Amino acid sequence: MTKQKILIADDEIIVAKELERRLTKLGYEVTGIASSGDEANAMTAQAPPDLMMMDIKLRGEMSSVGTGERRRYGKIPVVFMIAEADEASLPPTSVNDPYDYVVKPGTDRELRAIIELALRKQGAANAVHEVEDHFFSASIDMLCHLDFDGHFKRLNPAWERTLGFTVEELMSRPFIEFVHPDDRGRTLKQNALVRAGGKALSFENRYLCKDGSFRWFHWNAASDSADRVIYSMARDITAAKQAEEEREKLVRELQAALAELNTLREILPICSYCRKIRDDENYWHTVENYISRHTSTQFSHSICPSCMATEFESQAR
């Protein structure tokens, strides 16, 4: 059976050596002893252990060690060691839960129990992270982590497929440089709102592609102020936008055609000789009959002066 590897971080070499002896006796493999946080970081990067045991007062800087240090070492669980005199004054925020630390010197039974529990918890967390990583990589939507300074910290492969830029290219520049110039003002305003604790719901803007074109994105986002990061999901809605534009164009064309048809209906075909009007059913009517059928107008008959002169006066002669 493979031994679990443990790194010790303690600037008191005698205490660290004694802990090494006890851990070895319990069946663990001690990969090394670091006397500072920086040294522990370097040793972890070179040969990652399964767990780290760290003095919470390393180099006398309690503020430099804590939950932030846990994040710094990534997926490696950290068990903090504290002196019995310091346990009562330990700030609640210094440790995530009661199983993250052990009071020195601690019994062998306590050491084994806390180490095994930390390893099991980390194993379960790793399994969850693997599922999350698979979802992140396989998603057809664009997922990203954006820090509060405006740079992408993590992007899934959908970004490269959609925009054509590599992940490295997208992470090398402020995100706003990829936003369409006309959309930057409202995008920065929305970003500030999310950083302040709000949410982006159905926000839309355009992003630059490597070929110089732009694509429409539909966003949902929320922030984590503790980690100073914004978690976002974007969906490419360019095709939907183009279809919407086509529909609007078609509606405008239909409205124009209808207006033209209404104008044509206002033109009445009238005979140049007898002055009869043709209706929509191709029948010819006198002006009186046509107007009477299509309006509520009533006619009263009289004789105009011109007709009086041409018709009656000529007959009188």
What's the rounded Cα separation, in Å, for the pair 124 and 122? 5
What's the rounded Cα separation, in Å, for the pair 198 and 214? 27
Domain with CATH 3.30.450.20 in the chain: 140-236
* The pLDDT value given to residue 313: 63
Report the relative pairing of strands 214-224 and 199-208 from DSSP bridges.
Answer: antiparallel
Answer for the pair 66, 57: CB distance below 8 angstroms, yes or no. no
Predicted TM-score (pTM) of this structure: 0.53
The CATH number of the domain covering residues in 5-135: 3.40.50.2300
* The pLDDT value given to residue 202: 93
What's the rounded Cα separation, in Å, for the pair 50 and 3? 10
Residue type, 247: R
| pLDDT tens, residue by residue, 233-285 | 999 999 999 998 899 888 888 887 777 666 556 667 788 778 787 877 788 88
Q: Which fold has domain 140-236?
A: Beta-Lactamase (3.30.450)
Answer for the pair 176, 130: CB distance below 8 angstroms, yes or no. no
Domain with CATH 3.40.50.2300 in the chain: 5-135
User: Strands, E, within the chain: which ranges?
Assistant: 5-9, 29-34, 51-55, 78-82, 101-103, 142-147, 152-155, 199-208, 214-224, 229-236, 277-278, 284-285
* The pLDDT value given to residue 169: 96
Cα dihedral: 155, 161, 162, 167 (round 10): 30
Short-list 121, 52, 56, 54, CA closest to 93: 56
Per-residue pLDDT for the chain (317 aa), expressed as one digit of tens each?
Answer: 688 899 988 888 888 898 899 989 999 999 998 888 788 888 888 888 988 888 877 644 433 333 344 444 457 888 888 877 666 655 554 444 444 777 777 788 888 888 888 888 887 777 777 777 787 888 889 999 999 999 999 999 999 999 999 999 999 999 999 999 999 999 999 999 999 999 999 999 999 999 999 999 999 999 988 889 999 999 999 999 999 889 988 888 888 777 766 655 666 778 877 878 787 778 888 877 877 776 666 777 778 887 777 776 656 55
